[in-house]
């Protein structure tokens, strides 16, 4: 059965235009209006922008549908529940996906490096935690310049030039077995590349902040001393 309606339907934005190509989903009861195919209420959406008036009318139309049409809400909720979110793939599907990925990366080796570079620039979480902010304020009060979430191995919470990496770890997450092993690997890789790694838990920062501050300041002073001595040689 054809899933397209050929009946002209008036545009909901108030412009007076009509569209004859609308996607409709067939149910046992009747045709249910669904999403448009390359059209937004009569407007060809390819390469065109809606005016603010049209956007407002569209938003009002969707709001009215949600408020006044329980059947529409139920249908939308049912469709969303069938989305791939939480979908379990069969072993055959997993095998096909794996083979497809292997084939793609063999023919596009540069994509591996590009994806790793993009991943390093992503910050998780997007907002600094309270213990990170506490360390940042301490460094600012001592006029020490730093960067946050520098895109290098492990993405340190705070980076101080030339090579001091500070991590502020929450015990809830970083006490888990898989995460602890990852933190150890990150420490080793950074140390092998010449970075000084300082890792503090939220318990240390909250309860022993003076000791944490003294440790950081001492390491910064030692690093500056080494740079001065190296420059005088």
Residue ranges of domains in the chain: 4-81, 91-121, 130-232
**Half-sphere exposure at residue 210, Cβ-oriented, CA atoms within 13 angstroms:** 0
Fold of 130-232: Endonuclease; Chain A (3.40.960)
Run means of pLDDT, 10 residues per run, the chain, 233 residues: 49 56 45 43 52 74 72 73 67 90 88 82 78 95 92 91 94 89 94 95 94 94 80 57
Whole-angstrom Cα distance, residue 138 to residue 220? 13
Amino acid 18: pLDDT: 60
pTM for this prediction: 0.54
DSSP code per residue over 138-201? HHHHTT---EES-SSTT--SEEETTTEEEEEE-HHHHTSHHHHHHHHHHHHHHHHTTPEEEEEE
Residue 145: its pLDDT value, please? 93
Per-residue model confidence (pLDDT) at position 232? 57
């Amino acid at each position: 059965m054809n899933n397209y309606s050929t009946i002209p339907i008036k545009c909901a934005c108030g412009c007076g235009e009509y569209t004859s190509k609308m996607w409709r989903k067939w149910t046992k009861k009747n045709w249910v209006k669904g999403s448009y195919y390359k059209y937004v209420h009569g407007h060809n959406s390819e390469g065109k922008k809606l005016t603010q008036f049209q956007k407002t009318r569209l938003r009002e139309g969707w709001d009215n549908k949600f408020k006044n049409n329980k059947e529409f809400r139920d249908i939308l909720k049912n469709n969303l529940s069938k989305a791939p979110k939480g979908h379990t793939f069969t072993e055959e599907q997993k095998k096909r996906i794996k083979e497809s990925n292997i084939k793609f990366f063999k023919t596009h080796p540069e994509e591996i490096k590009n994806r790793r570079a993009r991943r390093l620039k992503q910050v998780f979480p997007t907002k600094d935690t309270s213990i990170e902010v506490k360390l940042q304020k301490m460094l600012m009060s001592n006029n020490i310049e730093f960067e946050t979430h520098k895109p290098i191995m492990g993405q340190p919470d705070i980076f101080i030039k030339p090579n001091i990496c500070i991590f502020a770890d929450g015990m809830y997450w970083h006490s888990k077995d898989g995460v602890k092993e990852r933190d150890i690997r990150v420490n080793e890789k950074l140390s092998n590349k010449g970075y000084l790694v300082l890792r503090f838990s939220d318990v240390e920062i909250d309860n022993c902040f003076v000791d944490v501050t003294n440790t950081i300041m001492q390491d910064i002073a030692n690093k500056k001393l080494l740079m001065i001595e190296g420059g005088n040689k």
